[in-house]
Structure 1
Amino acid sequence: MRPPIDSGTVLITGASSGIGREIARQLARRARTIVLVARRVERMEELREELHARNPTLGVVVERCDLSHPEEVDSLLDSLHRHLVQVDVLVNNAGLGDYSLYEEESWSRIHQMLQVNVTAPVLLAHRLLRRMVERGRGGILNISSGGARVFVPGLAVYTGTKRFLDGFTEALRLELLGTGVVVTQVAPGPVETEFSEVAGTQEQQERAPSWLRISAAQCASEALEGFERAVPLVYPGFAYRWMMRLSSLVPRPVMRAGGLVAARKLRHDTSLLEPGHPDARLGERLLLAGGPDGH
């Protein structure tokens, strides 16, 4: 069973940069219509021109939407319904995170992450899935994170939301077997996007060996390849894929011990910052996977 990408309508959240933008580029010659969803309209308009250059017959719909506000998600879907846009494939790519000690987080940041990483993909799937099942064809591609499978001090809320997406996707996939709707989860590791720069996690990203890092284009390509084969879980990148498979054999206490080292370093580094230092509140650095809109 394959998701109806060819000559279908694909909705991509977080489409203005990073993995979302690359998925749009790679689907430009195949899809009938691509719906780009993000906050940065300028970037999406530029991408629309690029996609039209690749495929002049492609329909490209640009929808500005702040996914941290469920009412805007509802408005987006209502707008598509009014314009008779029938979504065949949903790509939940947008994601937010924040690198900080948890007690330093503001509730507004935490709430924003929960809305974008949990509420938005669940709401979109709920509103679109029934019609996919009725038609007997459809697809949902959820871009999660390798962080859902490990312990990452400093990203407690982010990894927590990705663990939710992991469990949600796995259970949903089982429910939909035999319905014609394909569900795949992608759990990337170090991908060369704006993620670390905006997050303030460049140091951690740079410490990752070069053989472990991949480009956003490679990540998108492997994600789509796995999706078309109806693979339940995709780890993009050969070295990273084997590292994650082996990590599943590591006992939980050992993983905790490794996480404890990182946690102590984070707390120590934070305590050294003087009040008023630009980084004194790490939580003020918003982590947006691939920028303000997606991975």
Structure 2
Amino acid sequence: MMVTKRQTILITGASSGLGKGMALEFAKMGRDLALCARRVDRLELLEQELLLINPNIKVSTKELDVNQHQDVFRVFDEFNSEFGQLDRIILNAGMGKGAAIGTGRFEANRQTAETNFVALLAQAEAAMAIFRKQNAGHLVTISSVSAVRGFRRAMTVYAATKAAVTSLSEGIRIDVMDTPIKVSCIHPGFIRTELNEHVDKVPFIVDTKVGCRAMVAAIEAEKASCFVPSWPWAVLNWLLRITPSRWIRQMS
């Protein structure tokens, strides 16, 4: 099946980690990039780096805190007007703070829940409004292998939000089935980023560059749902679903 080339790509949370890594890969492919994040200084440095990689692409950056929901709609619309059309929007912004429920860390858990799901809902609304109007586009949500089941301690709320992202993505996909609008949900396995650089002894972890290359390849394929890197996560995600809870407790 021939996949449409998505020339203009918007990425949220693009100033570091997976967002930055994906932007670098897309720049090598000659794609125009609309990048937003809270840290404008990092975005400006990233823009320079991208134009060194490929001076023929167009790069635009804007400040955006995705928890400021009206700003999400404004920034997406500004990018759409600036580029004339947005072909793909990648909802990447997220966070991983948290602790076991009932241990006095409600604020950290709330922030993770609001950023990873409510703010993603705002981004999805803004993106799909644009795609519905132009009757074309590719929505990409970034979930996680942790979406397949519950985990303990700091992972509890994070995993729950990613399960919600996966479910939301499927619902949107069903809603626009048989239209020119495509929806993909990417489930990264363990990829080393600033969010987890303090965590030791993570099984099957890959560095940011390897992980982002796998993510971009999966995004380009425009499958409904995939786990990356495919080895070992295309297999391990099924094993995680049936692993006894006592084993999950020892792992997390």
For Structure 1 versus Structure 2, the TM-score category normalised by the shorter chain is 0.7 to 0.9
2:201 match: 207
Structure 2: gaps of 5 or more residues: none
2:158 corresponds to 1:140: no
Equivalents in 2 of 1:84, 1:227: separation in Å? 21
Paired residue type of 2:194:
E
2:238 match: 245
Q: Which has the larger radius of gyration?
A: 1
Equivalents in 2 of 1:147, 1:105: separation in Å? 23
Aligned residues: 249
> Does structure 2 retain, via aligned residues, the 8 Å contact 1:67–1:115?
no
Question: CA deviation digits over 1:191-247, x for unaligned, max 9?
Answer: 1111213xx5x1xxx3233xx112222222222222222222221121233211333
Which shifted more, 133-142 or 48-57?
133-142
Structure 1: gaps of 5 or more residues: 264-295
1:87 match: 86
2:175 corresponds to 1:219: no
> Does structure 2 retain, via aligned residues, the 8 Å contact 1:3–1:89?
no
> Does structure 2 retain, via aligned residues, the 8 Å contact 1:33–1:59?
yes
Give the CA deviation at 1:85: 4.8
2:190 match: 190
User: Aligned pair in 2 of structure 1 residues 22, 260: CA closer, same or farther (>3 Å)?
Assistant: closer
- What's the secondary structure of 2:116's corresponding residue? helix
Q: Which has the higher contact order (CA 8 A, sep 6+)?
A: 1
- What's the secondary structure of 1:63's corresponding residue? strand
> Does structure 1 retain, via aligned residues, the 8 Å contact 2:147–2:160?
yes
Equivalents in 2 of 1:23, 1:192: separation in Å? 14
CA RMSD of aligned residues (A): 2.3
User: Aligned pair in 2 of structure 1 residues 85, 135: CA closer, same or farther (>3 Å)?
Assistant: closer
> Does structure 1 retain, via aligned residues, the 8 Å contact 2:98–2:109?
no
2:101 match: 102
Equivalents in 2 of 1:46, 1:83: separation in Å? 21
> Does structure 1 retain, via aligned residues, the 8 Å contact 2:27–2:50?
yes
TM-score with structure 2 setting the length: 0.88
Equivalents in 2 of 1:176, 1:160: separation in Å? 25
Equivalents in 2 of 1:31, 1:130: separation in Å? 26
TM-score with structure 1 setting the length: 0.76
> Does structure 1 retain, via aligned residues, the 8 Å contact 2:97–2:111?
no
Question: CA deviation digits over 1:142-189, x for unaligned, max 9?
Answer: 111111113210122111111100101122222222211221111112
Equivalents in 1 of 2:179, 2:15: separation in Å? 31
Paired residue type of 1:67:
V
User: Identity over aligned residues, as a percent?
Assistant: 24
Paired residue type of 2:74:
S
> Does structure 2 retain, via aligned residues, the 8 Å contact 1:182–1:227?
no
Give the CA deviation at 1:52: 0.7
Question: CA deviation digits over 1:107-147, x for unaligned, max 9?
Answer: 43333223321122221221221332343321111111111
